[in-house]
Every structure is written in structure tokens, then in C-alpha cells.
Amino acid sequence: MKEQELSAHIQDSIAFLCITSADFLKIARNYVRPEILSTDAVYWAVKSCYKYYDLTKEAPGDHICDAIKDEIKGVSDAKKELVNHFIDRVSRMAAPNMKYVVTKLNEFVKSREFELAAVEFVKLVDKGNLEKAQDLMFNTLKAGIHSEEAGLDYCNSEPHPPVEEDVLVTMGLKHFDCLRTFHRKELVCFMGGYKGKKTWCLVHLGVQGLLRGLNVLHVSHEVSLEEVEERYDRNIGSFGSKWHEHKPIDFTYIDQESGRLQIKSLKRPCITNMKARRKIRKTIKRFGGRLIIRKFPMGSCSNKKLERYMDYLETYEGFVPDILINDYPDIMAPDDASQATRDNLNASYITHKRWADERNMLVAVVSQATRAAIRSKRLTMKDFAEDIRKLGNVDSVIGLCQTDAQALSNLSTLYVVAARRGLMDVGCGTVMNLDAGQVFSDSFPLKLGVKVAEEESDSDKQ
């Protein structure tokens, strides 16, 4: 990696973490020399934080202005102003993903140290000092932030909190969130039949991320950008209380106490004009997250192209997603046209899992179920279309199921088909109200025996 490939966002993040995190300083202090950083402002910020840490073993935090003031006494007034402006801007930025920053910084440090050592190595060889040249290259091979790659020293480390405690996002459904939550480094796949509301599921997940202040990248290969944009507007707008209310949605269920068939009416507000759409965007912006929607023509975007696009967003837009939504890998261009379709799909899912690990984010995709599974009461692991190996590469498979009778009553089932950890073969009932822009307007427990008219006979016909 060349020096200029350390993006402005990563440099800002390095400075932010040096100012605010003693844990980061503990990692970086012994392995990252300030002089290998390309920006003067970052150099002075990091150097000042190192000096403060050496004295106190703490990050400077609110004392950064005093710490850096002493460090830049001898520089020009113009440079002082530049550094102070940089510190002010960085101090107000949102906290970055530390693990991701450390990974990127580690790659940069290795590359930069190799670059500097190569020049010195040639000089030593020319002088005939082969032993010193050998020692130089040996030490350079050990360059980098070792704690990022050393692994877990099990007997000499504190245990990490349970993964379940580090929830990134949920579906926002009372009776599903108790069964399944989503975390960084996970690849989750929503499976359903053709026209089975899978894209709506992804939009719903994206909105839940925005409500948590997360950065969401939504990539579409099938649905138009305008349609995805409108679905986000409608979904977010349906949480408001001042919008025009659409007609009520009715669904049928069996009351738990009386055992009688009941009809419940559920109202959701719905945006209806451009003014409302503008207003809900201002509202969601206050949560602190960003949503970027990108449409690629069907079959034109490969995994390599999508990865380059994410690098572009990070380098030039300062945008690092917490959640990547890709709708959907099965119709992307193959990375290797000489391979069979099934092998390309398998490789694509492996790549998506790699992104989740390397970029420390949640990756959500969708996949088709087989024709036999369309309108089925529930989906199983056998219903993956094209290549069953996809099942082994994902951490969770969430099935969206809907029988003909359920469709008539605006109901569906959200089901945990497979999971690398936690419960499987569990789920809940959901209420759909797409007129209001919601694929999940409400949820209810399946154990209550919720039924709709003729559901059993309808299922028997399949």
C-alpha cells in the first residue's frame, strides 16, 4: 500500500482515537511512528498524544489543546492555525470503528516501513554490509501493529463480553428480536420466493440501522434507485404521527384467552407528498447515520467492482458502512466467467463473508428459494436455490414465508431457518402493510396458534 492510499477518513480516525482512546494509544505507540503519516496536522496531533500518553498513560481527551499547544510552539502561525482547525474538526466527528481503523493502519505501517527499508537495504548492500542489511530486513518483516494480528492469548487475557451483548441492529419486532439479533462480522441472508418481499425486508433492516445512528450502504442490482429511495421514504414516514393516515389494515388471529377468532385493525401513517418526504429525511438525519443507495445495472457489477466502490466511498466520501445491504449477489456479474454459475455464487458468498470480517460490519443479502417453496408455510435449509453451499457461508438465514391465505389477510411468517449460533427453527408471525410502506407493521408469537381462514386446507393443496 502506498503512502497516499491512507485515506483522509482513516487519518482523521487515527487522530480521533489518539485523542480519545488510551487503548488505541497503547496499541499504536510502539508500532506507528508519527513521521510516516502523510499529513502535518495528523503528525502533530499523534506526536502530542504520544507525549501526553508517555507522561500519564492516558489519552489527552479534553486536554488535547494544551498538549498540542506545547508541541507546536516553534512552527509558523499559518501551520498552527491549520493544526488547531484540524483538532477542532476531528474532535467533533463521530467515533470511528476502532477495529477497522487498526486493520487499515496496520496495512499502511507495513507498506510504509517496507518502502523505507528497501531504500536503506540497497545502500547497505552496495556498501557490502550484508549482515546489517539482513538484520534490517528481518526487523522490517516484523513491522506492523502486532496486537492486531497476534491472536488471543487465552490464558493471559480478559474474556470478551458475550457476542449477544454487542448487538449492532435488530429487526425492531418484539416477537422476533427475542429470537435473533444481528452483529458486526455477520453475513445474514433473507430467503424468500419470487416477488416474496425480500427487498422490502432489506429496506426495513436499513431503516432500523438508521434509527440506531448507523451508516448504511444499500446496493441494488434489480430494483431501480428511485424505487428503493421511495421505499425508504415510505418506511421511515410510517413511523411518524403527523402524516396522512392510510386506510386501516385488518388481520385475523385467535385470541389467546378466549380462543375465539378475532379481527384486529391496525393503523399506520403514510407519507403522501414531496413535502412529507423532505421532512422525514431531516428527521432521520438527526440520529447521526447516513444512507447511501447505489443502483448498478443488472449483471454489470462484480464483487471486485463493488469492493472498489466501497474503497472509493471511504477514500473520497469519508463513508464507512456499518451495514452493507446487497440486493442481491445471485444476479451480480461473475468475477471469473470461466467458472460455472454455482462456483461463482459460492465464491461470491465467501467474498461477502470476508467483507463482513475485514470491514467489521454486518452484511445482509437476499436469495431466492426454490420454486417448490413458493407460498409454502415455512422454509427449510433445503429450499436454497442454485447452490446449497451458500448455506455454509452465511451466519444466519431468515426466511420470509407467506401462504396464499396469509397473503389475503396481510400476514406472513419471519423464520430463523439456519443460524451459526443461537436458536434455529423459530420465528414469529408478522403483519404487512405495504400501503403504508411497511413489510413488518407488527408481530405476534406463533405459539399462540395464530391462524387465518382456510390456511390449513390451503397449505395442504401445495
What digits encode the pLDDT tens for the residues 156-194? 777 766 666 689 999 999 999 999 999 999 999 998 877
Provide the whole-model pTM: 0.69
Range 313-316 contact pairs with CB under 8 angstroms and sequence separation of 24 or more? 313/217, 314/7, 314/9, 314/10, 315/5, 315/7, 315/8, 315/9, 316/7
- Give me the domain span that covers residue 425: 174-460
What digits encode the pLDDT tens for the residues 208-261? 999 999 999 999 999 999 999 999 988 888 755 444 455 566 666 656 566 666
Whether residue 431 is contained in a domain is answered as yes
- Domain count for the chain, please give it: 2
The pLDDT assigned to 453 comes to 40
CA dist 373 and 367 (Å) reads 13
Cα-Cα end-to-end distance for the chain: 56
Same domain, 121 and 180: no
C-alpha separations of 369 from 115, 198, 382 in Å: 50, 11, 9
Residue 330 pLDDT greater than 60, yes or no? yes
pLDDT-derived band at 4 (thresholds 50, 70, 90) equals: very low
Same domain, 139 and 183: no
Q: Which residue has the higher pLDDT, 338 or 109?
A: 338
Of 142-151, 195-204, 206-215, highest mean pLDDT? 206-215
Look up residue 441 and give its three cell numbers: 407493521
Same domain, 125 and 215: no
Same domain, 254 and 334: yes
pLDDT-derived band at 64 (thresholds 50, 70, 90) equals: very high
Whether residue 284 is contained in a domain is answered as yes
Look up residue 313 and give its three cell numbers: 466511498
At which of 125, 156, 187 does a domain end? Answer: 156
At 262, which CATH number?
A: 3.40.50.300
Same domain, 7 and 78: yes
Same domain, 63 and 199: no
What digits encode the pLDDT tens for the residues 11-28? 888 999 999 999 889 888
At which of 130, 156, 182 does a domain end? Answer: 156
Percent of the residues in the chain that have a pLDDT greater than 90, as a whole number: 31
Give 235-266 as a DSSP string: HHHTT-SSSPB---EEEEEE-TTT--EEEEEE
Same domain, 322 and 436: yes
Residue-averaged pLDDT of the chain: 81
Length, in residues, of the chain? 462
CA dist 173 and 441 (Å) reads 9
Whether residue 295 is contained in a domain is answered as yes
What digits encode the pLDDT tens for the residues 28-50? 887 788 887 778 888 899 999 99
Whether residue 167 is contained in a domain is answered as no
* Burial label, 335 (beta-carbon count in 10 A; 0-12, 13-18, 19+): middle
Same domain, 359 and 406: yes
The pLDDT assigned to 305 comes to 92
The pLDDT assigned to 140 comes to 53
pLDDT-derived band at 132 (thresholds 50, 70, 90) equals: confident
The pLDDT assigned to 439 comes to 87
The pLDDT assigned to 56 comes to 93
Look up residue 274 and give its three cell numbers: 414531496
Same domain, 337 and 226: yes
Same domain, 288 and 400: yes
Given a contact cutoff of 8 angstroms between Cβ atoms, the answer to whether 352 and 326 are in contact is yes
What digits encode the pLDDT tens for the residues 110-130? 777 666 677 777 787 888 887
